[in-house]
Structure 1
């Protein structure tokens, strides 16, 4: 039963994609003609995307959307955020309601080959975990017969079912449309645990009234590589989103920050830096963007590490260590393909 929601969403997304082939073509031109990027994000998870006290969206996925708007328009305000639930995100993208998803979306084989969509490049590595009330259990295998909150339309449904089946242990899933609904049910005692990706659990715990009352168990049960999703068969848009994301990582690898990028553009003798920042025009010309597109992006939103720290770093309420999201030179998995 847990697989039916995904199968239905996949079938609907494919049907919409098949009936609207023009939607997958010329996205960059359509965005420019509209004068605005429409970016699919989550309905609200601290660290990835959540309105602040002024109602302004903040978080990594939100900053990735703003940065893409800068790459295209040199204006971070030229983006409209479209909050989408896990069960509707791919359908909305396939139907052309959004131009791109930056929405904690894991790349899987079946998503990659059956939805008429395309995972662009990974920008965040995560794994499935469980949160419980502090002091109740030490290991997930101890949760025999537990009631577990899950968000419908996520990989977490299947991961949870697969794990408990593998240890021949019963559990009772309770499905919700949104993370905030699952969180409220957990705090109200309707569920013994909430299962989702560990970074999202950290974000959820940071918004609870008493975070110390809740423990994220240390075990991880899946690989969850997040990446932007776009519609298939638009190679130009794929190139723009892919190399935009890569440029943020490349900027961190080169030590380019919001504070120093202007000076580095003026003075750096490095051919790699001069190419990236548009002193020489070839990268912008190849993507049909302004030659200074990557410079504009770093100046507006920072490099990958700055975005991460602003969203999850030690000065935030989440305080999530980078772990696998460190640069490869620091033992992590984040790696920029050569931009030359």
Structure 2
């Protein structure tokens, strides 16, 4: 279980709600809400014959505008929705999109992308036909949760020089649920991908790392890391990591010329082996390279990748597209084996 919710419950930041909404044979009951300024957990029940939640949206009830909150739906047999947000809103409408369950809807994203366009469209249409209701549950957060007890620390001159540039820790937001670390990389030559095994360490030596298995990824050399919360004292607080994964900016994108059947000049040693139907085989025997599943052509059109398969012995990598369109394919490099700085330690608070 996420350590954040354990901290929240132990501090009594849980609100019994017991609000329900029902329509067309579907019923949703929100039993309780737990959380603080950085994270919410919603305990709910869905009642009805063979139903499922397809999507959950959040709206500010005072303006009826959708909030940029992101929810993680629970696995079967679990009932907690985890919500990440940029800020708390006191009065929230939670919209549950309810559908009639079908075994076809249980397929993974990868399996969905293996379907042809016609089959994908048919599945989408079936999903919409199976919609039962939109159930709206109004919630007013009480002072246990809505109370603004977020500890925000703006940091000055907290930086370390690495071989790829200056790594800065700019701000901390500390709550019981999360310890949010705002950071950046100052570099004209390199892009930061992620920070490896980041931790905050308090004066007693207790470590606060990622609460569950996910990792935060950098965007435009800025990275916000959501670590375990519950830091009682900021005295002597230290940041530590095992390094920064990076890629050279000039190698961030790889262009495949379909017309001339070649890979354009790159510093990664990647070569084109063959193009067969909608499959492209590359060789990167010098380095193990991972590409994003998001690709595009020279016209900026998105190209869907069904999957990527690496043959570690030969260094060949097969990219399986839904459909190749255009004369050039542009791939984004997400990781290069061995491109990681040394770890470092930085004292944030004396």
TM-score by length of 1: 0.23
Larger Rg: 2
Greater strand content: 2
TM-score by length of 2: 0.22
